[in-house]
Amino acid sequence: MTASRRLAVDTTLALAFLLAACSPNAREQEVEFRVPVSVGEVGTGLVEDRIVATGTLRPPEMIQLVAGTNGILSYARNADGRRLAEGDQVEAGQLIAEIIGDDVRIEARTEATEGRYYAALRDFESSESLFSDGLITEQELRRAEAELADARVAMEASRLRESRARLVTPISGVVQSLGRQFTNAPAADGQLVGASFVVAEIAPIERMIADVALVGPDFSRVRIGQKARVRHYAWEDRRFPGTVTRLAPNIDPMTRTFTAEVAIANPKRDLRPGMFVEVTLIAERREEVPVVPRTAVAERGGVKVVFVLQGQKVTRREVVVGLGDDDVVEIRDGLDVGERIVVKGLETLSDGTRVRVSGA
């Protein structure tokens, strides 16, 4: 092989090696990595500053009908002849029960006192006639007048004792309990009961009161007239509207909490006294304000930031947040409605990071 030919072969081999060294298969390629993220838009919505507490329901008022004398218990009947029962609706002025028997009659002594009164009345009228004819002195007339007054007081006291044997409700409401004994068993008709026996408890329940215990910082954010929502686990998706009607003037020395009374509309009587409920007090409410998902806001260097999507990159934006809950938060400054922001996958993002949108 001539020298010129060997030179040509060497040159060809050198070029081949050089091309091989520059090919993609000969060295590792630089791979561009994009962070997968999910994005959403800045929208508008409603946000609230909420105080969540618990409370126990009770009626706004309750009347106890108590036996005023010893005797035999007899409960009243409804229009259909059925004995009154717990849960029945009763109206103001309705007879609930009577205490009957000789004990009541003897204690009242109504017949005797009425007889004494009418006899004293006749004596007084006769004395007035005799006095006008000058047949008796004024002193004798005044004595007859005093005896009449004493007889009237005795008769009215007897009638009052007798009336107490008829237990009439002064308010309308639902019968909460009827004659529960120490064993918690209902008293039967015909049972002998003593004075001070609780014959019935009646309360209206179309409106309920929740007594809510609040700690100091929360109590300072509650005011009379503030709106509330009440939830019971029996109705997971239902909320009962309420209003704060009273704030306790002092602190409970045992629990170191304040009590707020929340009135709750209960027209269907679904809520019952004694229920344990969750009460949400609305300290502040803002509507139609810019909001983003809570997951879209991160804290970097002590400031709140979001990442705004611009093409295939994100830009870090400082924001000022306002009210919010576990799901959304109000944006008071830093974003405009309609801007696209990262809502998931922002843990490793920084200003200018290239991203790949994998969900919305």
- 193 in the same domain as 221: no
Establish if 149 belongs to a structural domain.
Answer: yes
> Where among 157, 178, 203 does a domain terminate?
203
Establish if 69 belongs to a structural domain.
Answer: yes
Establish if 15 belongs to a structural domain.
Answer: no
Domain boundaries, position 245: 55-59+207-285
- 211 in the same domain as 199: no
Establish if 274 belongs to a structural domain.
Answer: yes
Per the document, the length of the chain is 360
Establish if 26 belongs to a structural domain.
Answer: no
pLDDT band at 9 (very low <50, low <70, confident <90, very high): very low
Radius of gyration of the chain (CA): 43
- 190 in the same domain as 67: yes
> Which two structure tokens, joined as six digits, stand for 248?
């306790």
> In this structure, what CATH number is given to the domain that contains residue 308?
2.40.420.20
- 308 in the same domain as 259: no
- 129 in the same domain as 74: yes
Find the mean pLDDT for residues 296-312. Answer: 91
Establish if 28 belongs to a structural domain.
Answer: no
pLDDT of residue 229: 93
| SS3 category, 244 | strand
- 196 in the same domain as 102: yes
Establish if 101 belongs to a structural domain.
Answer: yes
- 247 in the same domain as 234: yes
Residue 32 has pLDDT above 80, yes or no: no
Domain total of the chain: 3
> Which two structure tokens, joined as six digits, stand for 15?
């070029």
**Tell me, what amino acid is at 217?**
P
pLDDT in tens, 244-272: 999 988 888 888 889 999 999 999 999 99
Q: How many Cα atoms within 13 Å fall on the side-chain side of residue 254?
A: 2
> In this structure, what CATH number is given to the domain that contains residue 241?
2.40.30.170
Rounded CA separation 113/161 (Å): 12
**Tell me, what amino acid is at 337?**
V
pLDDT of residue 74: 86
> Where among 176, 203, 230 does a domain terminate?
203
pLDDT of residue 28: 45
- 220 in the same domain as 167: no
Please give the angle made by the CA atoms of 113, 116 and 117, to the nearest 5 degrees.
85
- 44 in the same domain as 71: no
pLDDT of residue 26: 42
pLDDT of residue 252: 85
Establish if 250 belongs to a structural domain.
Answer: yes
- 248 in the same domain as 265: yes
Instruction: Look at strands 35-41 and 355-359 and give their pairing.
Output: parallel
pLDDT in tens, 164-208: 778 889 999 999 998 887 777 778 888 888 888 899 999 999 999
pLDDT band at 3 (very low <50, low <70, confident <90, very high): very low
- 235 in the same domain as 135: no
Rounded CA separation 23/89 (Å): 94
DSSP characters over 252-313: -TTT--EEEEEEEE-TT--S-TT-EEEEEEEEEEEEEEEEEEGGG-EEETTEEEEEEEETTE
pLDDT of residue 109: 66
- 329 in the same domain as 265: no
> In this structure, what CATH number is given to the domain that contains residue 183?
2.40.50.100
> Where among 203, 220, 253 does a domain terminate?
203
On whether the CB atoms of residues 187 and 179 are closer than 8 A, the answer is yes
Instruction: Look at strands 166-168 and 173-178 and give their pairing.
Output: unpaired
> Which two structure tokens, joined as six digits, stand for 164?
């107490």
